[in-house]
Amino acid sequence: MDQENFYDVIARYLDGSASEKEAEMLLEWLKADKQNMKLFIDLKDLWLKTGTLNKEDKETEAALLRFKNKLKNNNRISFNRKVQLMRYGNIAAVLIIAVLTGILLFRNGGSNNAITSEQFTETIIPLGQKGKVILPDGTKISLNSGSKLRYPSNFNGTAREVYLEGEAYFNVAHNQEKPFLVHSGKLTVKVLGTVFNMKAYSGDNKIETTLISGSVKILEQTNASLEEVAMLKPNEQAVYIMSSRKISVNRFAGTESADVLKAEKSRETVNVQVSQMETVTMWKDQKLVFADETLDEMAQKLERWYGKPVHIESESLKSNRYSGKFIYNETIYQVLEVIRLTTDLNYYEKDHEIYINAK
């Protein structure tokens, strides 16, 4: 998209008048680069600030003109530069791109290779945000920051299939006749009705599936078929290493053998009993937990949690392990200050990005 056409398409998408082809083009552009998503969010924020989404405003062309004039006069925004995510009020930064916003095409199994279409919805959770989705079958899903879920408008086939990139907590509605399948990379999780957590970020080298209740099968894509590689029972976690294509299953201890993690609030340090299972799933309750994690893993989690880039200045620090728990919706600065006070680490901020080094 050229710059002028880009602004037109964004404005028409935001006021609901974009054509199917334009929405499809925008979806592909958003998926191509995470910086495109950040720019879109910034433009949406500006759109809201100009009042363009006022439902009583029927003068769409005048609203579009105000929006484009505002863009021309705003030196902070350019088409190709990295734009920091802005937040204000109670506006949710969860993007739900319904297709209408892109008809996804699949070849059917017939010999004539006819093209058929199916409507999908794609829910994208930007860094620093979390979201929830209820699927057509009643399945409830919590989505962690930096996650993307794609699912059909209706489950008309023999299975309920969704596609995940990121982390999600699934409470799957039971249906004996129609299994629920979660696809992520070369792995597929198959269930009938259960509760589990799945972590599969595109930048990670592993996919973690943690079962809370029920049972799940872990399937791996091999050539043209799916092969079962593990079956989980409650309190078990499967870790699949993508580079080696190896999988291991770990058994979590119950709540009776809880870990003790520390949290700090208003200069008070408290000890909190936390089971191993809870350390995996507490993100959905807005509780930030580090359980014997490397500093590199902690930096990734902080970046996703707060939507702010975090850099570790020394390679030797990345493998150091730390534990901690924050349960009061602390800011990133409060979390970093606790880390600074209780470890051998220091931090500073430059150009709205965080840098961690040794004291």
| pLDDT given at position 67 | 54
Instruction: Find the radius of gyration of the CA atoms of the chain.
Output: 22
Which residues on neighbouring strands pair with residue 124, listed in sequence order?
95, 148
Tens digit of pLDDT for each residue in 79-116? 333 222 222 222 233 454 433 233 333 323 333 333 33
Which residues on neighbouring strands pair with residue 141, listed in sequence order?
133, 170
| pLDDT given at position 275 | 57
Is a pLDDT exceeding 50 seen at residue 230? Answer: yes
| pLDDT given at position 50 | 47
| pLDDT given at position 109 | 34
- The number of residues making up the chain comes to 359
Q: Cα–Cα distance between 191 and 175 in angstroms, integer?
A: 9
| pLDDT given at position 100 | 29
Just give the CATH number of 255-358. Answer: 3.55.50.30
Q: Cα–Cα distance between 186 and 201 in angstroms, integer?
A: 13
Q: Quickly state the pLDDT bin for 47 (edges 50, 70, 90).
A: low
Higher pLDDT, 95 or 278: 278
Over the chain, what is the mean pLDDT? 75
The residue ranges of every structural domain in the chain are: 3-73, 95-251, 255-358
SS (H, E, C) 127-155: CCCCEEEECCCCCEEEECCCEEEEEECCC
Question: By the 8 A CB rule, do 220 and 213 touch?
Answer: no
Q: Cα–Cα distance between 161 and 11 in angstroms, integer?
A: 32
Q: Quickly state the pLDDT bin for 46 (edges 50, 70, 90).
A: low
Q: Residue 151 CB: number of other CB atoms within 10 A?
A: 22
**Class of the CATH domain delimited by 95-251:** mainly beta
Q: Residue 279 CB: number of other CB atoms within 10 A?
A: 22
What's at 309, amino acid-wise? P
Q: Quickly state the pLDDT bin for 127 (edges 50, 70, 90).
A: confident
Is a pLDDT exceeding 90 seen at residue 194? Answer: yes
| pLDDT given at position 324 | 87
Which residues on neighbouring strands pair with residue 190, listed in sequence order?
181, 217
Is a pLDDT exceeding 60 seen at residue 353? Answer: yes
Question: By the 8 A CB rule, do 44 and 77 touch?
Answer: no
